[in-house]
Amino acid sequence: MTRKAVVKIYTAQIVPGSSSLDGEVMLIKEGFNWAGFLFGPFWALWHGMWKTMTIIFLVLIAIPVICNTLYLTNYLVIILQFQVFIFMGMWANDLRRTALLQRGYVEHAVIVGKNKNEAEHRYLLNVVLVEP
């Protein structure tokens, strides 16, 4: 019985005008981001996404304030804050991609690989070395 390989999809973001060989390539995975889910605003801070971090902190602070004002149960606070972290895990890579676009990066290619190393290898072989 053969086992099919699971592949992941990455987008390659580069700075315009770079040769793509000088380390200016960022590979960002499509899909759920466990670090974004577990660490939320701290993950955003690690990637220099100050606006995202501030918004997440404000939402996490606003949830208990609003629930207490409306005399809602503390269980609802926990559920809503947990939902914020779930959304952060679902959207973390998209938020990072958007932040890179705002910094001047452009989407250069879509790469498929079993892991990030294989995707980077395929990127260097198929995209960088083929271009003049």
Task: Select the more confidently predicted residue: 23 or 66.
Answer: 66
How far apart are the C-alpha atoms of 89 and 86, rounded to whole Å? 5
Q: How far is CA 65 from CA 22, 29, 38, 103, in A?
A: 48, 35, 23, 34
Region of poorest pLDDT, from 7-11, 67-71, 89-93, 106-110 = 106-110
Q: Which residues does 81 contact at the CB level (< 8 Å), separation at least 6?
A: 60, 63, 64
Name the pLDDT band for 4 (thresholds 50, 70, 90): confident
The per-residue pLDDT for range 39-55, each reduced to its tens digit, is: 999 999 999 999 999 99
Mean of the per-residue pLDDT values for the chain?
88
Quickly count: other Cβ atoms within 10 Å of residue 47's Cβ: 16
pTM of the predicted structure, to 2 decimals: 0.82
How far apart are the C-alpha atoms of 33 and 10, rounded to whole Å? 13
3-class DSSP assignment, residue 9 = strand
